[in-house]
Each structure stands twice: as structure tokens, then as C-alpha cells.
């Protein structure tokens, strides 16, 4: 199934050109429903609204999210009840938006060392988050109607049923071809190791086990914030700091949450679109 989502750069460019007219018309709606700008968050509703008009209707938002992803019945089965899962369309707005993100990232990664990458003596690296950066969890969100449960979430992760985020396998291979060392940094706990490796590799990613960081609250580089008390931003940024202390320069950091990207220790950040949930 991965081959249908991982298209060459030329195919991405053609798809983007064909979709340009549709994207122009839909831009405003997508901006409101899904945060079309790759670098700016959609403004949240007020914490203490004085009118229902200040809050988007949940059912309408869910419908917009399904339209954005291009809801499609999958050939893969739910690991909990055996029913067919849902997935995204390889021709939908989400996949087209990801094509643009990946094209931008490849342009950046092929630049010569002209000041964008300040640590010239370090080994250049790229870092990817996992859920909804390299593996798409739309199937889980639809199954749970966007309500998180640790038990069901772990079942999906362990079953390795997620598809690759469109075009991100291409990007990882492109970075490797350009001489970058690839790291994966996920908020999944260490108990999810086997399912994570299985899912990433089955979708086509090249995973070096030593370069895969799952959340281990006993890691010494998390001691400054207390391990389990570390926020997502602290966990991610302190782990990036640790990686750079090993002699790497993280040239590009990819994540679907701003908490994946905040805190420094990366030359440039790339925000992956994800209107399904928010992790502070």
C-alpha cells in the first residue's frame, strides 16, 4: 500500500499543479478547518466563551476533517474488532498539502552549507516525529471519534496498522541520499518499541535502532525537568540537545505539533499539518 502514497518528486509537482485551482478556491475553508498555513496555528476559541457563536460546532469540525483527509475505507483491519479501518485519500487535500511540505523540505536540504547550517563541523542530521509526522493516525482517530484512550491507542501502535504520511518516505530517503543521518523522536513510551519499528520499516522507512528515541523517563538528559514531569516541549528539546551533544547538527526537525518543534536545537523546523488533535 505504501507505494501508492510515496510518489516521486515529479509526480508531486504535477499533482500540485493540477490541484492549484481547487486549492485556491478551498484555501479559506481549509485555513479555518485545518490550519492550512504550515507554520501558524489556527486561533483557538476563547477559554471562557460568552456565546456559543464563539465555538465551532464539533460535528461540523469532524466533517471538515474527514473532507480534508478524503475519508476512504481501507484494506487494513481494526486490531480491536476486525472491522475495516478508514484511511486518507492519496489524491485528497491532505496528501497534496504534504507534497508541498516535502518539496519545500527537499529544496532546503539540498542547499549548500551557506550559513543555514551553522555547525559545519558536526555530522548533519534530520529528525522526524512519528505519529502524524511519519505515520498517519487518521484510522485511529476515526475509530475513536477523536477521543483518545491509552488502551486502544497502544493496541493500534502495537499492531503496526498505520500508513506512512504521504511523501514522507520519499523525504527520508532523499535526506539519506544527501548524506544526512536520520533520527526518529516520538512521545510513544519504550513499551511501544517493537510495534513502532515494525510499522516504520513496513512502510518503507530506514530505521536504525540506536537513532530511534522513544520516551524513557529515566533518561539522564531528562533529569532537569524530572523525567515523567517533563512537558512534551521539554522532552523533545532536551532529547534534541542530547543528540546534538553526540556530535550531530539537526539541520531540520519535522513535527505535527508545535511542542515537537519548540525549544531549539534544530536549524529549521517544518510543521506537518494535523487538524485532529493538539498536544501542548
Residue 37 near residue 31, CB atoms below 8 Å: yes
Q: Please check the confidence at residue 18 and state whether its pLDDT lies above 70.
A: no
Per-residue pLDDT tens over the stretch 117-131: 566 689 999 999 999
The pLDDT value recorded for residue 110 is 93
pLDDT category of residue 44 using cuts at 50, 70 and 90: confident
Residue 112 has what pLDDT?
64
Q: Give residue 111's pLDDT.
A: 83
The confidence score (pLDDT) of residue 102 equals 98
Q: What is the pLDDT of residue 108?
A: 96
Question: Comparing 24-33, 63-72, 133-142, 159-168, which segment has the lowest mean pLDDT?
Answer: 24-33
Q: Return the minimum-mean-pLDDT range out of 18-22, 84-88, 191-195, 232-236.
A: 18-22
What pLDDT is stored for residue 12 in this prediction? 56
pLDDT range class, residue 28, cuts 50, 70, 90:
very low
Domain coordinates in residue numbering, the chain: 2-37+55-271
Instruction: Provide the H-helix boundaries in 72-144.
Output: 93-109, 138-143
- Higher pLDDT: 225 or 111? It is 225
CA–CA distance, 267 with 253 (Å, rounded to integer): 8
State mean pLDDT over 15-22.
Answer: 41
Which phi and psi angles does 67 have, rounded to 5°? Answer: -65, -40
Q: Which class does domain 2-37+55-271 fall in?
A: alpha beta
Residue 22's pLDDT band (cuts 50, 70, 90): very low
d(CA 280, CA 152): 21
Q: What is the mean pLDDT of residues 229-235?
A: 98
Q: Please check whether residue 103 is in contact with residue 13, taking contact to mean a CB–CB distance below 8 angstroms.
A: yes
Model-wide pTM > 0.75: yes
The residue ranges of DSSP E strands in the chain, in sequence order, are 72-77, 84-87, 123-128, 135-136, 163-164, 181-189, 212-215, 248-255, 268-271
Of 22-26, 74-78, 223-227, the one with minimum mean pLDDT is: 22-26
Least trusted range by pLDDT, from 37-51, 127-141, 201-215, 256-270: 37-51
User: What pLDDT sits at residue 207?
Assistant: 98
Nearest to 76 by CA among 13, 9, 136, 148: 136
Amino acid at each position: 500500500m505504501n507505494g501508492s502514497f510515496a510518489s516521486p518528486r515529479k509526480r508531486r509537482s504535477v499533482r500540485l499543479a493540477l490541484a492549484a485551482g481547487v486549492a485556491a478556491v478551498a484555501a479559506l475553508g481549509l485555513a479555518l478547518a485545518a490550519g492550512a498555513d504550515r507554520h501558524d496555528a489556527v486561533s483557538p476559541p476563547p477559554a471562557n466563551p460568552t456565546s456559543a457563536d464563539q465555538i465551532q460546532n464539533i460535528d461540523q469540525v469532524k466533517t471538515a476533517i474527514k473532507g480534508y483527509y478524503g475519508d476512504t475505507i481501507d484494506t487494513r483491519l481494526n486490531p480491536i474488532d476486525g472491522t475495516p479501518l478508514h484511511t486518507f485519500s492519496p489524491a485528497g487535500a491532505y496528501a497534496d498539502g504534504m507534497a508541498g511540505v516535502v518539496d519545500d523540505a527537499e529544496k532546503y536540504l539540498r542547499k549548500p552549507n551557506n550559513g543555514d547550517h551553522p555547525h559545519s563541523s558536526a555530522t548533519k542530521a534530520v529528525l522526524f516525529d512519528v505519529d502524524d509526522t511519519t505515520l498517519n493516525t487518521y484510522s485511529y482517530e476515526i475509530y475513536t471519534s477523536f477521543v483518545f484512550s491509552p488502551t486502544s491507542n497502544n493496541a493500534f501502535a502495537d499492531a503496526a496498522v498505520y500508513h506512512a504520511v504521504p511523501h514522507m518516505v520519499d523525504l527520508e530517503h532523499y535526506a539519506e541520499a544527501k548524506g544526512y543521518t536520520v533520527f526518529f523522536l516520538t512521545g510513544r513510551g519504550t513499551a511501544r518499541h517493537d510495534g513502532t519499528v515494525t510499522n516504520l520499516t513496513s512502510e518503507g522507512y530506514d530505521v536504525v535502532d540506536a537513532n530511534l528515541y522513544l520516551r524513557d523517563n529515566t533518561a539522564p538528559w531528562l533529569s532537569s525537568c524530572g523525567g515523567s514531569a517533563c512537558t512534551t516541549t521539554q522532552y523533545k528539546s532536551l532529547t534534541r540537545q542530547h543528540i546534538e551533544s553526540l556530535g550531530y547538527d539537526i539541520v531540520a526537525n519535522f513535527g505535527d505539533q508545535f511542542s515537537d518543534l519548540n525549544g531549539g536545537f534544530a536549524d529549521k523546523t517544518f510543521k506537518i499539518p494535523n487538524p485532529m488533535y493538539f498536544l501542548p
